[in-house]
Amino acid sequence: MSTAETSRFVRLRVELVLEVEDEAAVMEAARRRIAEDEELGTLERERTEEAVTEDTAEALAYLTDPLVLVSEVPGVELQQASWSSEHIEYDPDSPYWELDEDDVGGDDEEGDGGGGLNRRERPGFPG
């Protein structure tokens, strides 16, 4: 593709650190969403329920949908999405957690930005 053809594609990277104050509420919300998902088959539903019940990070990954973030942005169409969630050690006072120039506008052509253990890809989008 030429530069003119590829310039219309933009990779948006977002990293969030969440504090889970009520694991049971997160897991219950994930189980409710699974129960409402008519596209899940029986085996997939059982495996997903097990995963979100055993791991809050999995429950958060299941509840997170990048399509929601961009669905109301005029003039864009989501082409591909992947995201991950993992438990981390977090110290907000540590210099490690400060944004640096790589976080603000760096181009990382080699990775997909996800380093998490529990990767979930939006059905229908290649990852």
- Give the pLDDT confidence score for residue 75 in this predicted structure: 94
User: Cα-Cα-Cα-Cα dihedral of 15, 34, 127, 19, to 10°?
Assistant: 10
pTM across the whole model: 0.64
The pLDDT assigned to 2 comes to: 60
**Model pLDDT for residues 97-112, shown as the tens digit of each residue:** 776 555 544 444 434 4
pLDDT score of 50 = 96
What are the pLDDT digits (tens) for 69-83? Answer: 899 999 999 999 888
- Identify the pLDDT of residue 99: 63
- Tell me the backbone φ, ψ of residue 66, rounded to 5 degrees: -60, -25
CA atoms of 124 and 114, how far apart (whole Å)? 19
Question: Which ranges of the chain have pLDDT less than 70?
Answer: 1-6, 99-127
E strands within 10-125? 82-85, 118-121
